[in-house]
Structure 1
Amino acid sequence: MDIGFAIKVFTALFAIMNPIANIPVFLSLTSGASDAARRRIALTAILGVTVGCIISAVAGQAILHVFGLGIDDFRLAGGLLILLIALSMVHGSPSSQHASTPAENGDLADRNAEDMAVYPLTIPLLVGPGTITSMIILGHEAAVSGQAIAFGIGLGAFLLLLSAGLFAAPLIGHYLSAKATAITQRLMGMILAAIAMQMMLASLQHVFMSRS
């Protein structure tokens, strides 16, 4: 087992979902909800993230084949998408790929807090295009290199951290300043940009080698 690959999976998920930056969002969406309701919302979101990540990693490549796409085609396009998300994070602006639109958010005030666990908390805030792209690519790498265990460890470690962050969000929110959130967002954006460049370079390298 390559522990480095497990760290890569954990880092990619942490950078793109950024639990620290999303704690204020979670608290805002669940404003006025009881502690018990917040725990139910957190549990629903965690289950949704787990299912979304596993499905993307396991079935992602098969879905690509249905559309006649290879993993290198997707790695290049996905790397570009993740790079755009990373640049938004570096500049301190929310990514449109991982946020609902104003029109979609128009009725949030009238919705039950539990309904927000799936939308917009799980999709698209946590499991958006960037997360799905990362899972498909990393899932393929794990299958090809025989690193399924390392992939599972990295994913499991992140889900534990995400669970701890959401369940402890009310407590963490008292000590989490806007400045700390902004710094974390920019730092994760830089890491995510490096991961995106690695994806695109690997895809281009494979294309050039196949043609030489």
Structure 2
Amino acid sequence: MLSLKEIFSVTLILFSVIDILGSIPIIINLRKKVGHIQSGKATIAAGLLMILFLFLGQSILKLFGIGVDDFAIAGALIIFALGAEMILGIELFKPDPEASTTSASIVPIAFPLIAGAGTLTTILTLKSEYSQANIAIGIVINLAVVYAVLKSTNWLEQKLGKTGLDVLRRIFGIILLSIAIKIFKSAMFSGEMI
């Protein structure tokens, strides 16, 4: 059943995890190295990964003998690391400096920047509390935002400035740390996800 509250919650959670605004400096740096990033290709590739994982994620995990709780804990650790990276201003996940224009649109932009382990884990854990339809709508909304941001990174950099980007990055970092702790606690102590 469609629920605006669920769609809003899912959209906000995924927006925090994807952190496309916090990734603007990485995208700008990559664009300077490779010249052009294909925003459409990156968005479609990330969207396909996210939708595939929404519907087949549990089956994929079963194939490898991994439980949802195990994957959630691993994902919570990654989300925690991403949040710590954003708050502390350190770089744990480094993009490949050898990337070409086409490959840079897919790796590292589509995966792991947009649809990374943290995003995929979050999608999987959201399934325990929200309906698939609401999660799918939340994914599509986020993909629209991702596409718009990828298309306008230079303009956003000028408007927000370094200070604005730093503030946004830290705010979403705190949100990510909170999400990671919630996922970890739920998986470890109650067997329930978000």
TM-score by length of 1: 0.79
- Residue matched to 1:188: 172
Determine if contact 2:51/2:136 at 8 Å carries over to the other structure: no
- Residue matched to 1:23: 24
- Residue matched to 2:69: 72
The one of 58, 78, 82 equivalent to 2:79 is 82
* Residue correspondence of structure 1 range 100-179 to structure 2 within 5 A: 100=95, 104-105=96-97, 107-108=98-99, 111=100, 113-138=101-126, 140-141=127-128, 147-179=131-163
Moved more, 187-196 or 15-24: 15-24
Q: Cα deviation per residue 1:152-190 (whole Å; 9 max; x = unaligned)?
A: 221111111111111222322222311111111111011
Determine if contact 1:26/1:121 at 8 Å carries over to the other structure: yes
Distance 1:78 1:29 in 2: 25
Answer yes or no: is 1:44 the counterpart of 2:41: yes
Question: Cα gap change, 1:74/1:114 in structure 2, threshold over 3 Å: closer, same or farther?
Answer: closer
Distance 1:87 1:33 in 2: 28
TM-score by length of 2: 0.85
Root-mean-square deviation (CA, aligned residues, Å) is 2.4
| 1:8, distance to aligned residue in structure 2 (A) | 2.8
Determine if contact 1:83/1:196 at 8 Å carries over to the other structure: yes
Q: Which protein has the bigger helix share?
A: 1
| 1:61, distance to aligned residue in structure 2 (A) | 0.5
Structure 2, unpaired ranges of 5+:
none
Query: What count of residue pairs does the alignment treat as equivalent?
Result: 191
| 1:63, distance to aligned residue in structure 2 (A) | 1.4
Structure 1 or 2, whichever has the larger Rg, is: 1
Question: Cα gap change, 1:28/1:198 in structure 2, threshold over 3 Å: closer, same or farther?
Answer: same
Structure 1, unpaired ranges of 5+:
none
| 1:67, distance to aligned residue in structure 2 (A) | 2.4
